[in-house]
Amino acid sequence: MHRLQWKLNLKVRYNPVTLGQNLTGSNFPDLLKVFRQPYGLIWENMAESPLTTSLVEELETSLYFGRELILKTKDQPQPKSILYIDSIPSPP
C-alpha cells in the first residue's frame, strides 16, 4: 500500500512582550499584535549544556496519512510533548 506523506517546514512567531496584551477594556487578545509577531527560534533539542542546544529558524518534519504528528523538542524527559520556542535576539 502506498503511504501518503507530506514534507513540512514549520516556522513560529514569538514575541514575549505581546503575550498577555489584551484589547483596551477587553479580555480578548489584540490579534493584530499576535499576527505581527516576528519570527522566533525553535529549540530542536534540549542538550544538557546551552552551548550544545540547537536553535533553528525552521523545523523540518513529515506528516503521514493516518498518523498524528506531535511537534516537540527532542531530548526532553518523557512523556513531555512540548515544543520550546524563543525570540530572536535583536542585533546590537
The 3-class secondary structure across the chain, one letter per residue, is CCCCEEEEEECCECCCCCCCCECCCCCCECHHHHHCCCEEEEECECCCCHHHCCEECCEEEEEECCCCCCCCCECCCCCCCCCCEEECCCCC
- Mean pLDDT in order along the chain per 10 residues (92 residues): 86 84 82 88 79 84 92 79 85 69
Predicted local distance difference test score (pLDDT) of residue 19: 72
**How many domains in the chain?**
1
The domain of 38 spans 1-92
